[in-house]
Amino acid sequence: MPQWPVELDAAIAAPEFHRLALENGSVRVFETRIGPGEIVPLHTHEWPAAYYVLAWSDFVRRDAEGAVVLDTRSQGIDLKVGQGVWSEPLGPHTLENIGDSCLHIISVEIKPSTA
């Protein structure tokens, strides 16, 4: 059972930014592209995920109330093309690309085992 409303799932709430490339009982793979100045509407990521950077840009993540929870500039996060990073599930948030280039990420969400 999802811990957040189903309608906030990234595939439902923000499909123009999250292209679902593969989904099965074990994983869900997204290709995410966010252009400079674009803001991804409120959405969630239900499962932990490995993220692979294809193109980097600074961004600000805000919670459902609009409070900044991550600003890559002030936190010194500057990932390089080809770098990977791990993330736990992400509750309701928006994401604004505040950089000058496209943020392009492949994410592999790991679903819980049904065994």
Successive 10-residue mean pLDDT values, the chain, 115 residues = 89 98 97 98 98 98 98 94 97 98 98 80
What the block records as the tokens of 58 is 């600074």
Residue 77 near residue 69 (C-beta atoms within 8 A) = no
What's residue 22's pLDDT? 98
What range defines the domain where residue 39 resides?
Answer: 6-110
Our count of domains for the chain comes to 1
pTM: 0.92
What's residue 1's pLDDT? 57
Is residue 90 one of the residues assigned to a domain?
A: yes
Q: What is the CATH number of the domain that holds 79?
A: 2.60.120.10
What's residue 115's pLDDT? 54
Is residue 1 one of the residues assigned to a domain?
A: no
For residues 64 and 80, give the distance between their C-alpha atoms in angstroms, rounded to a whole number: 28
Is residue 115 one of the residues assigned to a domain?
A: no
Q: Which of 49, 53, 47, 101 has the alpha carbon at shortest distance from 79?
A: 53
Is residue 45 one of the residues assigned to a domain?
A: yes
Is residue 87 one of the residues assigned to a domain?
A: yes
Cα 46–chain centre separation: 11
Is residue 41 one of the residues assigned to a domain?
A: yes
